Amino acid sequence: MNIKELVANEPIGSRVIIQGWVRTFRSNRFVAINDGSCAQNLQAVVNFEETDESLLKRITTGACVKVEGEIIESQGGGQRIEMVVQNIEILGDANPEEFPLQPKKHSLEFLREIAHLRPRTQTFGAVFRIRHALQFATHKYFNDNGFFQVHTPIVTGSDAEGAGEMFRVSTLDPASPPKTESGEVDWKEDFFGKETNLTVSGQLEGELFALGLSKIYTFGPTFRAENSNTTRHLAEFWMIEPEVAFNDLQDNMQLAEDNLKYVIQYTLEHCREDLQLLADRQANEEKQLPQDKRTIPLLEKLEFVANNDFVRCSYTEAIEILRNSKPNKKKKFKYLIEEWGADLQSEHERFLVEKHFGKPVILYDYPASIKAFYMRLNEDGKTVRAMDILFPGIGEIVGGSQREERYDVLKSKIEEFGIEEESLWWYLETRKFGTCVHSGYGLGFERLVSFVTGMNNIRDVIPFPRTPKSADF
């Protein structure tokens, strides 16, 4: 059995075998064992008088053990059942002089340095079980709603995705690459016969499939070589990108809101114990802070988002709100909002969500000049049908749009943006043959996991974070 099955079934009187890792060993008697199947430990009670001294010494934090014994109602508080150990075997020792995880509070920074061992901690066990539940809920949501998952390429030959700086994929010798006559690197000699990169988004390919299968989504790794050393950016992250034929911007907003609420609700229903553990952790972390500096309790925050409508606010309205806001008037923003057309920084997004509206906000109809070439131009000729969803504590969690479906408009936008038309010939062709209104968005999976777990640093919700100057493990 694993511990999850054990606590669910409470097989009092049965003899069972459990394998897992020792969290603590108290009074030469009580071993707390965790096997990662759930947050709970099994309390295994050893009879130290009948157990070899040399064996007892090897029951240390981090050791892997196999215990066999009878399950009884717990004599102490804290757990409903416990095991009276008849047989204990050490499967793998963990020398206490060397094992870095001890039963005390370690900082998240320290745990990042030992990311190979952090899955053994209570906090990271909870985070990664919730991460799993969120990805499962995502697939369930789309499957239940008639979407097909499409595996878009990870190596891309198109440099027009335009969502960020890219990582080159090459097999050329960096010390002496083949050169053209004019002295430039000759990419024709490279593996794919052209310049290739890791994808920054599966959207463009996703669109091709939406214009055939109608409702699709991608869920894959995404790479951005931007030097943003923030708590919200990774160089390698996972993105969910639905794309739907016949959906306009309103439908797109509705889908994204529904999608987010569904997966959050799913964790509330299926990850209660882990969420509670993280909620307690957060409350404990913030104990010292004055009341007004504390964040909303985790479960309350999730319930609130799952059960309330998101605010919808146009970019133009948002600029008015920001222009007249206190931090703008008192020059507290780093970037002051002076006129229509300004790009919104995260300080502005957070003001809107956390201070002004106090709930998730969908901003839409942005100036064309600050958004990508493929977004549908509005009748006013200066805004596009873009939408970003902003979450408290996170900022942008979703970015999406209705796509430009008109061949001529798209063609001139590509020109305007200085993109080589030949590199997008296939994308343009979909507007020539059977084009239609369609929309989609990108939901950053780690930002979602951050939000749901309340973990403030995105590095703590992906198993092995890749960030500037760091790609360990």
Give the interface with ligand ATP as residue ranges (CB under 6 A). Answer: 163-164, 224, 233-234, 237, 239, 396-399, 442, 444, 446-447
Q: What is the DSSP letter of 334?
A: S
* Residues 6 or more apart in contact with residue 336 via CB below 8 angstroms: 328
CB of 206 to ligand ATP, least distance (A): 13
Q: How many helices (H) and strands (E) does the chain have?
A: 14, 16
Tell me: does residue 395 bind Mn ion (CB under 5 A): no
The minimum distance between CB 363 and Mn ion, in angstroms, equals 10
Residue at shortest CB range from ligand ATP: 444
Site for Mn ion in 177-206 (CB under 5 A): none
Cβ closer to Mn ion: 111 or 255? 255
- Of the candidates 452, 3, 442, the one whose C-alpha atom is nearest the C-alpha of residue 224 is 442
CA atoms within 13 A on the CB side of 356: 25
315, 385 Cβ separation under 8 angstroms: no
CA separation for the pair 395, 390 (Å, rounded): 5
Q: How far is the CB of 165 from ligand ATP (least distance, A)?
A: 10
Residue 163 touches which of ligand ATP, Mn ion, none (Cβ within 5-8 Å per kind): ligand ATP
Question: CB under 5 A: which stretch of 67-75, 195-203, 294-302, 399-407 binds Mn ion?
Answer: 399-407
The residue (of 399 and 465) whose beta carbon lies closer to Mn ion is: 399
**167, burial (CB in 10 Å: exposed 0-12, middle 13-18, buried 19+):** middle
Tell me the two tokens of residue 457. Answer: 């640093």
Residue 290, number of CB atoms within 10 A of its CB: 7
Q: Any residues with CB less than 8 A from the CB of 246 and at least 6 apart, and which?
A: 214, 436, 437, 438
Closest to ligand ATP by CB, 227 vs 324, is: 227
Whichever of 120 and 403 has its CB closer to ligand ATP, that residue is 403
> Least distance from C-beta 163 to Mn ion, angstroms?
8
Residues 6+ apart with CB under 8 A from 386: 364, 365, 366, 371, 375, 399, 400, 401
Residue pair 1/16 in contact (Cβ under 8 Å)? The answer is yes
Choose from Mn ion, ligand ATP, none: what does 446 bind? Cβ within 5-8 Å by kind.
ligand ATP
- How many chain residues bind Mn ion (CB under 5 A)? 1
Cβ closest to Mn ion, residue 220 vs residue 399:
399
What is the smallest separation between the CB atom of 344 and ligand ATP, expressed in angstroms?
A: 9
Q: Are the CB atoms for 295 and 282 separated by under 8 Å?
A: yes
Which partner, ligand ATP, Mn ion, none, binds residue 442 by CB below 5 to 8 Å per kind? Answer: ligand ATP
8 Å CB contact between 207 and 438: yes
Stretch that binds Mn ion, among 66-74, 108-116, 248-256, 391-399 (CB under 5 A): 391-399
Of the two residues 164 and 297, which places its CB atom closer to ligand ATP in the complex?
A: 164
Give the residue with the Cβ less far from ligand ATP, 141 or 237.
237
Q: Name the residue nearer to Mn ion (CB basis): 360 or 399.
A: 399
Q: How far is the CB of 325 from ligand ATP (least distance, A)?
A: 20
Dihedral angle computed from the Cα positions of residues 114, 117, 119 and 122, in that order, rounded to the nearest 10 degrees:
-90
CB of 229 to ligand ATP, least distance (A): 11
CB of 312 to ligand ATP, least distance (A): 17
367 binds, among Mn ion, ligand ATP, none (CB under 5 to 8 A by kind): none
From the CB of 188, what's the least distance to ligand ATP, in Å? 30
- For ligand ATP, the closer CB: 71 or 386: 386
User: 62 is in the binding site of which of ligand ATP, Mn ion, none (Cβ under 5 to 8 A by kind)?
Assistant: none
Residue labelled with tokens 């307690």: 280
Q: For residues 197-222, b (16+ Cβ closer than 10 Å) or e, as one string?
A: bbbbbbbbbbbbbbbeebbbbbbbeb
User: Across-strand partners of 109?
Assistant: none
Q: What does 68-117 look like in DSSP terms, one character per residue?
A: EEEEEE-SSSS-SEEEEEEEEEEEE---TTT----SS---HHHHHHTTTT
Q: Which of Mn ion, ligand ATP, none is residue 234 near (CB under 5 to 8 Å by kind)? A: ligand ATP
C-alpha to C-alpha distance for 202 and 150, rounded to whole angstroms? 9
Task: Report, in Å, the least distance between residue 211 CB and ligand ATP.
Answer: 21
Q: Distance between CA 50 and CA 48 in Å, rounded?
A: 5
In the list 69, 392, 395, 399, the residue contacting Mn ion (rule: CB under 5 A) is 399
Query: Which listed option, ligand ATP, Mn ion, none, makes contact with residue 161 (CB within 5 to 8 Å by class)?
Result: none
Select from 63, 126, 136 the least CA-distant residue to 93: 63
Nearer CB in complex with ligand ATP: 298/386: 386
Question: With respect to Mn ion, which residue has the nearer C-beta, 125 or 400?
Answer: 400
Minimal distance in Å, beta carbon 203 to ligand ATP? 9
Binding site for Mn ion (CB under 5 A): 399
